[in-house]
Structure 1
Amino acid sequence: MLRLTVNGRDHDLDVDPDTPLLYVLRDDLALNGARYGCGLGQCGACTVAVEGRPVLSCVTPVSVLAGRSILTLEGLGTPEQPGTIQRAFVAEQAAQCGYCIPGMIVRAHALLVQNPDPSDAEIRRSLNLNLCRCGTHLRILAAVHRAARETRGAASEDDRS
């Protein structure tokens, strides 16, 4: 039995410890935000955050994640109440086919937690491991900047209260 904490909830799972996290998320927990892209950790479609750091879930065995906090796209918001970064991607129309977007969003969220005001170069460097063939790169940059502004604005309002 293995216990995983995903999106703030504990899950006791009877899975092979060598199973990649991606399969456990999708098959056992019905969390389908992380996508299967290449299966080799080269495209970023499967990106999740583990304790705030982006991780390629297709090549990460669940055994190394016991006791660590895992965040998936679903943990950032819902279709009815999307989180800041999700709203920014929608507002900037940053998705074309959308296949890479969940991994991009999770990686962008992790960046903004570490650096609330990233430059274009820092965003590009952070998202470099996530491949997008549709060509929405400029819109993705705009979405990350929008989310950063909104997050900083919300933080400023909290400071004033």
Structure 2
Amino acid sequence: MDATFWALVGLIIFLGILIYVKVPGTMAGALDKRADQIRNELEQAKKLREEAQQLLAEYQRKRKEAEAEAADLVSAAEKEAAALRAEAKAKTEDYVSRRTAMAEQKIKQAEADAINEVRASAVDLAIVASEKLIEKKVDAKANEALFNKSLTDLKARLN
């Protein structure tokens, strides 16, 4: 008998012992257990993936809402800024018109004051000139006659 025969007999005995000890069943059980564990892990991964997709969708929805809210805020701020600009422009124009009116009024008042001052100076100058003229042309007799005439005119007006 040669060595190959004994190697075959040893292999058959070894395989028989393995079957008797139920090593293939144990291995199949371990493999089934490992397959179940992998299946559970795959299911958990699938659940986690679905949850992640839901969270992603929720965050994208929140981001879109936040962007829309930010756009609304920017729009409202632009409208408010435009209203403030218009109000400031109106107030400025009103202020300028009031200041212009006040300046024009002051100018008119200054013109009136200047005219009155020139008139007063002209009256004073005319009085001085008429006094000098009267002094030159009127003598004492004419002065007395003029004084008497003025008195009679005054008495007539008072009565």
Fold agreement, TM-score > 0.5: no
If the length of structure 2 is used for normalisation, what is the TM-score? Answer: 0.17
If the length of structure 1 is used for normalisation, what is the TM-score? Answer: 0.17
Report which of the two structures shows the higher radius of gyration computed on alpha carbons.
2
Greater share of strand residues, 1 or 2?
Answer: 1
